[in-house]
A and B are shown apart, each in its own frame.
Chain A
Amino acid sequence: MDRLLFLFATGLARGAIFALFALSLVLIWRAARIVNFAQGAMALVATYAAFAVTGVTGSYWAGLAAGLVAGAAIGLGVERGLMRFTPHSSPLSGVIVAIGLVMVLQSLLGILFGAQYRPMRAPFDDSPIMVGGVPLLSPYDLFVLGVALAVMAVLALLFTRTSLGLQLRASAFAPEVSRVLGVRVGRMVTIGWMLSAAVAALAAMLLVPTELGLNPHATDMLFVYAFAVAVVGGLDSPVGALLGGLVVGLAMTLVTGYLGATVAPIGVLVLLVGVLLVRPGGIFSLREARSA
């Protein structure tokens, strides 16, 4: 029972990271109708930037801020410099360009920084707090949960309560009508990419300190799990990403805890296939998703 509680709590923290990253995939899908397979690699570049800034300044927070800015800048660059020129006639072209970008970014990181693992330190203790003799959450897990919840709340407010959010949603749902109404849809797509890439960078920066360390493949599994989460939740549904992330995080941690780490990826993939068989649009897709 103690073990279950512990796994449950750490699973939530891990799930929050998946949820954040899945949310970033949902953001980009809604803004640009692209499943961005380069999201992990882009977030990784931002994490390297954070790592470098922390190394120079000695401050975790300066690194975190730099990583967020770098993430947004990478989103801007990829949309303006690459994706804008990708033909939209087939969804496949965006996917293929994104996969190409993954290879380029990961190779560049490998050339520049080498393939070794560089340990990234967490800003807080990551040994669990004991509650009544039972190990529960580490301070770092609490930090991760808090940041994830705060970011989600801010995004929810941005999208539902502000004019910018209204334009972002309208541009995603009905680009042509939005343009006719004077909305600068091109700018909204760019902002969508920047937001999404910054959120993905944040998720990566939160994850890496809990893993072996920073290396050119540090976000590969994060992308795979978050992609599963996004698809399970429905690519159009931010709520789906949130709940899906928590469920997958919990499931993974429980499976790892009771059955072993090697079984966890299989569990996630079984979940993915199962959901796609029963509900191809994702659990939280209420109606036919718009395809364009």
Chain B
Amino acid sequence: MSAATRALRGALEIRDLTVGYGGAPVLHSVGFTLAPGEVVALLGANGAGKTTLLRTLAGLVTAASGALLLDGHDLGALRTEDRARRGVALVPDGQSVVAELTVDENLRLGALWRHRGAARERAIAEVYAMFEPLARRRASAGHQLSGGERQMLALGRALIAEPVLLALDEPSLGLAPLVVAQLMGTLRDAAASRGLTVLLAEQNVTSALSIADRGVVLDLGRVVADAPATILAADETLRHAYLGF
């Protein structure tokens, strides 16, 4: 599939989404859309609801009301593993690399349902070509990796299944600025070359906006801003009020 035809896929519509964990809702009627191939930064302070939104998208949390439509198909009835097979890839925050498995096994796990036989080996080789430090550590266990290597592995493992929509939860967390810059660069290149739609939840506003087309700002579970990245980056009032810099 060429990048041009794939770019027509990966449209996400989040419609009137309300999510709560039993008590008060964490997300209140959140709604916005992602066009195919668009990179959208999901911004907001701690507790704004970014992680909840991503977990709802992946089917790990059930919405109280509202809908999630991927290319017009309602994801609501699908279980997490079936959403993954529809092309929704979530890179969860923190320790999503399976610590007990090797680098190679982690990648293989991501490729299992998508690729068979020789195609699987090819897909794994492609990830090693993209992230050279991983190739040197293929037999290392996940818990032996550095923070940067873990994020590379998590990203490579998500990309290997050729998703149409990639959702990342704070990939920059705990990484050195130089590593963050590298990771963002790789993410931008991967998204561009594959026509991938990306929803990037970040507290590192500058980094996220530097590669995003658009930014959506959440505050206490509501969308308070939705604008092109350049405008958001220049809007001082907004930055002070919600993004804390």
Q: Are B100 and A183 in contact (CB under 8 A)?
A: no
Q: Does B10 contact A (CB under 8 A)?
A: no
Bound Cα distance A178, B101 (Å): 12
Roughly how many angstroms separate A233 CA and B243 CA in the complex, as a whole number?
51
Per the bound structure, the CA–CA distance linking A8 and B79 in Å amounts to: 53
**Stretch from B1-9, B11-19, B42-50, B84-92 forming part of the interface with A:** B84-92
A166: B residues at CB distance < 8 A: 101, 105, 108-109, 112
A162 and B224 CA atoms in complex are apart in Å by 49
The SS class assigned to the A binding surface is helix
Question: How far, in whole Å, are A182 and B84 apart by their CA atoms in the complex?
Answer: 5
B184: interface (CB < 8 Å): no
B98 touches A173 (CB 8 A): yes
Q: Is the CB of B81 within 8 A of A174?
A: no
Query: Given contacts A166-B108, A167-B109, are A181 and B100 in contact (CB under 8 A)?
Result: no
Tell me the complex Cα distance, A49–B98, Å.
40
Distance in angstroms between the alpha carbons of A122 and B84 in the assembled complex: 50
Chain B residues lying within 8 Å of A170, measured Cβ to Cβ, are 98, 101, 105, 109
Q: How many residues of A contact B (CB 8 A)?
A: 17
Alpha-carbon separation in the docked complex, A177 to B98 (Å): 8
Give the distance to chain A from B155, nearest Cβ to Cβ, in Å: 13
Whether B60 pairs with A182 at a CB distance below 8 angstroms is no
Question: What residues make up the interface of B, taking CB atoms closer than 8 Å to A?
Answer: 58, 60, 79-81, 84-85, 89-90, 92, 96, 98-101, 105, 108-110, 112-114, 157, 161
A163 at the interface (CB under 8 A from B): yes
Query: A176: CB under 8 A from chain B?
Result: yes
Within 8 A of B (CB), among A143-170: 163, 166-167, 169-170
Which of chain B's residues has its CB closest to A287's CB?
Answer: B143
Q: Does A179 contact B (CB under 8 A)?
A: yes
Q: Which residues of A contact B100 (CB under 8 A)?
A: 169, 173
In whole angstroms, what is the CA distance A105 to B113 when docked? Answer: 39
Assembled-state Cα–Cα distance A177/B79 (Å): 13
Q: How far is the CA of A182 from the CA of B96 in the complex (A)?
A: 14
B101:A181 contact, CB within 8 angstroms: no
A179 to B100, CA, bound (A): 16
The interface centre, meaning the residue of A163, A169, A181, A183 with most chain B CB atoms within 10 A of its CB, is: A181
A-B residue pairs in contact (CB < 8 Å), sample of 26 = A166-B108, A167-B112, A169-B105, A170-B98, A170-B101, A174-B96, A174-B98, A176-B60, A177-B92, A178-B98, A179-B60, A179-B79, A179-B80, A179-B84, A180-B58, A180-B80, A180-B84, A180-B92, A180-B96, A181-B84, A181-B112, A181-B157, A182-B81, A182-B110, A184-B81, A185-B81
Which residue of A is nearest B88, CB measured?
A: A180
Can you name the residue of chain A whose Cβ is closest to the Cβ of B97? Answer: A177
CA distance A240 to B143 in the complex (A): 21
8 tightest A-B contacts by CB?
A182-B84, A179-B80, A182-B113, A174-B98, A173-B100, A179-B81, A180-B90, A181-B110
Which B residues touch A177, using CB under 8 A? 92, 96, 98
A196 to B85, CA, bound (A): 29
B109/A183 in contact, CB under 8 A: yes
Which chain A residue shows the least CB distance to B98?
A: A174
Residues of the B chain whose Cβ atoms lie less than 8 Å from the Cβ of A185: 81
A185 to B81, CA, bound (A): 8
List B contacts of A181 (CB < 8 A). 84, 109-110, 112, 157, 161
Q: Is the CB of A178 within 8 A of B90?
A: no
B58 / chain A contacts, CB cutoff of 8 Å: 180
Please pick, from B60, B99, B161, the residue contacting A173 in the complex, using a CB distance under 8 A.
B99
If A180-B92, A184-B81 are given as contacts, then 18 extra A-B residue pairs at C-beta distance below 8 Å, sorted by A number, are A163-B108, A163-B112, A166-B105, A166-B112, A170-B98, A170-B105, A173-B100, A173-B101, A174-B98, A177-B92, A178-B98, A178-B109, A180-B60, A180-B84, A182-B81, A182-B114, A183-B109, A183-B113
